[in-house]
Amino acid sequence: MRFTLRIWRQKNAQDPGRFETYEVDGISPNTSFLEMLDVLNERLIKEGKEPVAFDHDCREGICGSCGLFINGRAHGPLPNITTCRLYMRHFRDGETITIEPFRAKPFPVIRDLVVDRSALDRIIQAGGYISVNAGSAPDANAIPIPKPVADRAFDYATCIGCGACVAACKNASAMLFTAAKVAHLALLPQGQPERRQRVQKMVAQMDLEGFGHCSNTGACAVECPAKIPLTAIAQLQRDFIWAHFTPDPYAR
């Protein structure tokens, strides 16, 4: 297959950046999107040109590091997958493909298609953590959790932190990401003691980082590779209001 690629090139955060056009040919339909970029990069290196920087790690949809905005959509034209699981057979032969970084003010471009997503890490950190020796795993039946609740908590826990929800959102809101983390812990007994503080601190950090507010368009859930449902956001909203209006029995 043959493709024309319009790729965003930007030397660093200060550089205004621009699109550059490249042709790739002889690409097998079963080549993954990232492998297609590898092919291009190998050629650019051989030609003595600067290869395109892009993030990737596991290449199997679990780490959340690959994040490209392809033809105007986070992670490309298919819903609910990561860029690394997108294949060239999902495009038309001869198609022009536009590739951009995930765009949001809290995600500054580091180089080309690589953005700094550490704002998401800071939201997690704001939720609180402890460093103690927790000993060996407790008996599985020591804390009973109804199966449907455990399943739902696990569904929320599958967020891989890719940031596609932010890139897909017209408000650059990180609500789906934050909500997935909040809802996961809010459902479990182990998450109760700090439940009120956690939601308040994480939402405050989300605002501080400059993410926009949620206006319930749901673009995030369409692109989310972990299929985090919008009910996570409902849970976050509920917890946030509840935390505000009820006394915290754990407060010092």
Among 15, 50, 57, 248, binds ligand FES (CB under 6 A): 57
**CB contact set of 74 (below 8 Å; sequence gap of 6+):** 67, 102, 164, 165, 167, 168, 223
Query: How many CB atoms within 10 Å of residue 107?
Result: 24
The answer for residues whose C-beta is within 8 angstroms of residue 173's C-beta and 6 or more apart is 165, 166, 211, 212, 213, 214, 215, 220
State the amino acid at position 135 in one-letter form.
G
SS3 call for 111: strand
Residue 63, binding choice from ligand FES, other proteins, ligand SF4, none, Cβ under 5 to 8 Å by partner class: ligand FES
Q: Which stretch binds other proteins (CB under 8 A): 42-50, 97-105, 159-167, 208-216?
A: 42-50
Both ends of the chain: CA-CA distance in Å?
64
- Check residue 111 for interaction with other proteins (CB under 8 A): yes
Q: Which is nearer to ligand SF4, 89 or 227 (CB)?
A: 227
Could you say which of 3, 8, 37, 65 contacts ligand FES (CB under 6 A)? 65
Contact residue for other proteins among 4, 12, 118, 215 (CB under 8 A)? 12
Q: Which stretch binds ligand FES (CB under 6 A): 39-47, 78-86, 173-181, 199-207?
A: 78-86
Q: How many residues make contact with other proteins (CB under 8 A)?
A: 12
